[in-house]
């Protein structure tokens, strides 16, 4: 049986008055953990709220696990967990009361909702504080409570909006570990919306970048990391031409960047030790070797400057914003 994409965007546009916020978004996304990136005003929060049914599409539509947000939004909401950026607590409630209430709103019967509330609060590390009032919580504890209510009902898709916002380094690391663990447990997909590239790099396998309401880049970070491990920059001494010939005989691609520097892409099955062996046999020495570092920051800055990129292996034009 063919698996439906997690999210499909079909010419999705959202307008507020005369202003178009999301512009002809197109694409199909099935990643386990997708980072949603873009500068302020790019449309990240608008996209999340539209997928949850809070903003109606002006044109086009989107589907979540095959359910159209225009006609099947109730089914969509049952499958979604949402950790908002801003506090949305109810005054006077303890953590367990709040999480239970949110689980009931998501469709669980009262007894099951209470059981899941206890479980999720213990899971995020708030078990001992679950009967305390939420207004007594620190910022880090409030963030954990928001995560607990988002996962209590067992969603298939989890939206995390700035989950580490305002956290100190230890609390941030704790949140990152939890997000990674959530990602690996069960049949759950997550979309992490953050202005912190490091959060996306540490938690996500793919990145979707928005600019001015358009998709300008969709990158598979795992593929980028694998490619980086095969791309090397070398500094040589000795018979450079003989080394280049030997590297090419191994199937590697080589390009001279300066008198002593060489860039090479390792062929399949060739390892770094093979280059050192070839250098020794041909009278050359590798004085320095480094892997290419095409980080998420590089990808993001390139997308911001070019305003165009790739989506699902196809070029994205500046006018369409989709594949």
Residue-wise pLDDT for 28-58, tens only, equals 998 899 999 988 889 999 999 999 999 999 9
Q: How confident is the model at residue 292 (pLDDT cuts 50, 70, 90)?
A: low
Q: How confident is the model at residue 139 (pLDDT cuts 50, 70, 90)?
A: very high
Tell me the per-residue pLDDT of 74-119, one tens digit each, with 9 for 90 and over: 999 999 999 999 888 999 999 999 999 999 999 999 999 999 999 9
The mean of the pLDDT values for the chain is 87
Tell me the per-residue pLDDT of 150-165, one tens digit each, with 9 for 90 and over: 999 999 999 999 999 8
Range with the lowest mean pLDDT among 62-66, 105-109, 316-320? 316-320
Pairing verdict, β 206-211 and 33-37 = parallel
Tell me the per-residue pLDDT of 190-206, one tens digit each, with 9 for 90 and over: 999 988 888 998 899 89
Q: What is the pLDDT of residue 256?
A: 79
Which domains can be identified in the chain, with CATH numbers? 7-224+297-316 (3.40.50.300), 235-291 (no CATH)
Contact 35, 208 (CB under 8 A): yes
- Has residue 309 got a pLDDT over 70? no
Q: What is the pLDDT of residue 54?
A: 93
Q: What is the pLDDT of residue 317?
A: 40
Q: What is the pLDDT of residue 205?
A: 87
């Amino acid at each position: 049986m063919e698996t439906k994409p997690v999210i499909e965007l079909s010419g999705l546009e959202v307008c507020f008055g005369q202003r178009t916020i999301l512009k002809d978004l197109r694409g199909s996304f099935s990643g386990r953990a997708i980072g949603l990136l873009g500068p302020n005003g790019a449309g990240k929060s608008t996209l999340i709220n539209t997928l949850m049914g809070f903003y109606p599409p002006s044109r086009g539509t989107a589907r979540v696990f095959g359910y159209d947000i225009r006609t099947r939004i109730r089914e969509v909401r049952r499958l979604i967990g949402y950790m908002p950026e801003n506090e949305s607590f109810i005054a006077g409630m303890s953590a367990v009361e709040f999480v239970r209430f949110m689980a009931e709103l998501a469709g669980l019967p009262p007894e099951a909702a209470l059981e899941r509330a206890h479980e999720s609060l213990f899971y995020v590390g708030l078990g001992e504080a679950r009967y305390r009032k939420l207004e007594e919580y620190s910022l880090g504890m409030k963030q954990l409570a928001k995560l607990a209510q988002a996962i209590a009902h067992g969603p298939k898709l989890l939206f995390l909006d700035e989950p580490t916002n305002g956290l100190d380094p230890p609390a941030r690391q704790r949140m990152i570990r939890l997000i990674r663990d959530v990602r690996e447990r069960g049949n759950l997909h997550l979309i992490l919306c953050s202005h912190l590239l490091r959060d996306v790099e540490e938690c996500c396998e793919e990145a979707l970048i928005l600019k001015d309401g358009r998709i300008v880049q969709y990158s598979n970070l795992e593929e980028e990391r694998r490619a980086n491990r095969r791309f090397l920059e070398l500094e040589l001494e000795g018979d450079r031409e003989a080394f280049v010939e030997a590297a090419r005989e191994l199937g590697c691609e080589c390009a001279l960047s300066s008198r002593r520097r060489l860039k090479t892409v390792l062929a399949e099955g060739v390892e770094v030790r093979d280059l050192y062996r070839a250098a020794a046999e041909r009278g050359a020495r590798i004085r320095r070797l480094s892997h290419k570092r095409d980080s998420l920051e590089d990808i993001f800055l390139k997308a911001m400057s070019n305003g165009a990129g790739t989506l699902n292996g196809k070029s994205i034009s500046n006018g369409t914003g989709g594949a």
